Amino acid sequence: MAGKTTDAYVFWLVYTLLDNKRYMIFYHRYFTFAHEIAHNLVQDHNAEHEFYFSATSQKYVVKLFELI
């Protein structure tokens, strides 16, 4: 994520604004799965990987917040 501040802001929001820390594992797993899904498409950590990781993460993150 070198040079990418938008992803840093997403993680900052997730880790600092949540009142109930027991749900943190869901968010951690969610972004881990999104990262690994991106690796199914692109092997290296490059701009293309970042694109797929971000797209996958952003697609359902609002639904995740609503569920939790």
pLDDT digit string, tens, across residues 18-49: 656 667 777 788 888 899 999 999 999 999 99
Interval 40-63 mean pLDDT? 90
Please give the residue range of the domain that contains residue 55. Answer: 5-67
Residues 44, 54, 41, 66: is their CA dihedral positive or negative? positive
**What is each CA distance from 16 to 19, 24, 30, 38, 39, in whole angstroms?**
8, 10, 17, 25, 27
Query: For the chain, how many structural domains are there in total?
Result: 1
**pTM, rounded to two decimals:** 0.63
**Assigned token pair, 58:** 């952003």
- Per-residue confidence (pLDDT) for residue 48, from 0 to 100: 94
